[in-house]
Amino acid sequence: MRRVELLLTALEYIEGHLRDDIRTEDVAAVCFCSKSTLEKTFRCVNRISVHDYVIRRRMMQAARLLAGSPDRTILDIALEYGYSTHESFARAFRQVWNCRPSEFRKMKYELYPRLRIPAENGGQCMMSNRHVDISELYDLFQERKDCFFICCDVKEMMRINEISHRAGDLAIIEAMERMSAAAGEGDLVFRIGGDEFCILTDSREESYAEGIAEAIRARNGESFSGEGREVPLYLHTTAVRLEQTHVRYDELYTGLHEAIYEAIRTGRD
- Label residue 241 by pLDDT band (50, 70, 90): confident
**pLDDT exceeding 70 applies to what percent of the chain?**
82
Domains of the chain by start residue, with CATH:
2-106 (1.10.10.60), 134-266 (3.30.70.270)
Q: Give me the chain's average pLDDT, please.
A: 81
In the predicted structure, residue 112 carries a pLDDT above the cut 50: no
In Å, how far are 112, 134, 157, 254 from 266, measured between CA atoms?
38, 32, 18, 18
Q: Are 174 and 233 in contact (CB under 8 A)?
A: yes
What's the confidence (pLDDT) of residue 127?
Answer: 40
**pLDDT exceeding 90 applies to what percent of the chain?**
29
Q: Which residues pair with 153 in a beta bridge?
A: 196, 236
In the predicted structure, residue 129 carries a pLDDT above the cut 50: no
Pick the more confident residue, 110 or 176: 176
DSSP-based three-state secondary structure for 176? helix
DSSP state of 126: B
- CB proximity list for 32: less than 8 A, separation 6 or greater: none
- CB proximity list for 214: less than 8 A, separation 6 or greater: none
- Average pLDDT on 225-253 reads 80
DSSP-based three-state secondary structure for 117? coil
DSSP-based three-state secondary structure for 36? helix
Q: Are 183 and 129 in contact (CB under 8 A)?
A: yes
- Average pLDDT on 179-189 reads 88
- Label residue 101 by pLDDT band (50, 70, 90): very high
CA distance 74 to 88: 12
Helix 2-16 to helix 249-266 angle (10° resolution) is 150
Distance of CA 167 to the CA centre of its chain: 24
In the predicted structure, residue 246 carries a pLDDT above the cut 70: no
- Average pLDDT on 184-209 reads 86
- Label residue 1 by pLDDT band (50, 70, 90): very low
In the predicted structure, residue 68 carries a pLDDT above the cut 70: yes
Long-range contacts of residues 242-245, Cβ cutoff 8 Å, at least 24 apart: 242/145, 242/149, 243/146, 244/145, 245/145
CA distance 234 to 213: 13
- Quickly count: other Cβ atoms within 10 Å of residue 10's Cβ: 23
- Label residue 123 by pLDDT band (50, 70, 90): very low
Which of 227, 157, 219, 248 has its CA nearest to residue 194? 157
What's the confidence (pLDDT) of residue 183?
Answer: 92
Phi, psi at 190, each rounded to 5°: -145, 165
- Average pLDDT on 134-141 reads 69
Long-range contacts of residues 32-35, Cβ cutoff 8 Å, at least 24 apart: 33/6
Phi, psi at 107, each rounded to 5°: -115, 160
- Average pLDDT on 87-114 reads 77
What's the confidence (pLDDT) of residue 244?
Answer: 63
Pick the more confident residue, 138 or 232: 232
Half-sphere exposure of residue 173, counting CA atoms within 13 Å on the CB side?
15
- Label residue 269 by pLDDT band (50, 70, 90): low
What's the confidence (pLDDT) of residue 64?
Answer: 84
Pick the more confident residue, 22 or 2: 22
- Label residue 131 by pLDDT band (50, 70, 90): very low
CA distance 118 to 99: 24
- CB proximity list for 67: less than 8 A, separation 6 or greater: 104, 105, 109, 111
- Label residue 205 by pLDDT band (50, 70, 90): very high
What's the confidence (pLDDT) of residue 77?
Answer: 94
CA distance 90 to 73: 13
In the predicted structure, residue 88 carries a pLDDT above the cut 50: yes
- Average pLDDT on 133-141 reads 67
